[in-house]
Amino acid sequence: MVEATITRAGTMNEKSASGELEVRDVSKFYGTDRYPKTVVDNCSFIVKRSKLTVMIGPSGSGKSTIVRLLASFEQPSTGVVLLDGKKVTKPDRDRLVVFQESALYPWMTTYENVVFGPKAQGRQGEPLAEAARGVIDRVGLSQFQKSYPNQLSGGMQRRAELARALINNPAIMILDEPFRGLDAMTKGLMQEYYAQLFENSQSTHLFVTTDIDEAIFLADRLLIMSNFPLRLRQVIDVDLPRPRRLADVVTSDAANQLKMTALSILHEEALKSFAVGNQMADHFIESYKQRYRPDASD
């Protein structure tokens, strides 16, 4: 498969939407009233307007459940999700999700995949065609408009997914580990390319990951989440200058200090996943906190 050259992202004629999302005292239970299973536990945070907020936490902690709640694919058991102060109760194009797995239709070309959603909403004609060409160019796939998904590399498929979301100009872009499964080189290229897309648009994004290096490189704000059930542990502002390049961030003392702070919390949370009912593991966690985070409190 041929990988397209990544070019500097262009701008679209339509001004990017930008919303603010608030999760207020949200919990999610499954099972019966008698035997409930808590997946999200009294969680509150804000995805700030025009910021790239990154959520990071241990695998299996409930992050994808939060994504489904934000998109209104499911409803909270308690608490509310607010977009610009208004409660959201159903899926809408103002909150679009790019998932881990490709959702491109294999029988459609890149162009056909991109325009499918707008056509379903009743958009048509030259304005739609112009918008589609613009967003496809923006993600560097102009030469691959007529290509089918199986003719695209993994990175190119990810960019087609981004184009399919961007054409709807959502108030909130939600990305659930979109680069998971890519090889290291392609993943690095996609991280830089995605960061550039965000920096040119200044729309509101929530990016979910388990990769600390990816999180520090991309984030304006970092939401560090607990082990299962999911709660917010800490918010860290990532005050690194934009535009960013991976090579600069990797060698940055400020970035490495942020990384160590985040890792100490994540390590503690990951340890809890095997500590349930294990007295020795509980002792190890306590020793770890005293050695590396003597000021830590639960």
Most confident of 16-25, 142-151, 165-174: 142-151
pLDDT-based confidence at residue 140 (cuts at 50, 70, 90)? confident
Task: Give yes or no for a contact between 78 and 27, defined as CB atoms under 8 angstroms apart.
Answer: yes
Residues belonging to the chain: 298
Whole-number pLDDT of residue 201: 79
Q: Cα 272 to the chain's mean position, in Å?
A: 24
pLDDT-based confidence at residue 286 (cuts at 50, 70, 90)? low
- The whole-angstrom separation of Cα 178 and Cα 203 is 18
Whole-number pLDDT of residue 33: 74
pLDDT-based confidence at residue 10 (cuts at 50, 70, 90)? very low
Whole-number pLDDT of residue 277: 52
pLDDT of 2 above 50: no
pLDDT in tens, 148-186: 999 998 888 988 988 888 888 888 999 999 888 788 888
Whole-number pLDDT of residue 8: 37
The sign of the dihedral angle between the CA atoms of 64, 65, 66, 67 is positive
Average pLDDT, the chain: 83
Higher-pLDDT residue of 178, 10: 178
In this structure, the strands spanning 95-98 and 172-176 are: parallel
What is the average per-residue pLDDT within 40-69? 92
Whole-number pLDDT of residue 278: 52
Tell me which residue has tokens 């490709």. 102
pLDDT in tens, 220-273: 999 999 988 899 999 999 999 999 888 888 888 999 999 999 988 888 877 766
- The whole-angstrom separation of Cα 33 and Cα 254 is 47
Question: Domain-by-domain residue ranges, the chain?
Answer: 14-94+170-245, 107-169
- The whole-angstrom separation of Cα 298 and Cα 231 is 12
Q: Does domain 14-94+170-245 have CATH number 3.30.420.40?
A: no
- The whole-angstrom separation of Cα 84 and Cα 78 is 19
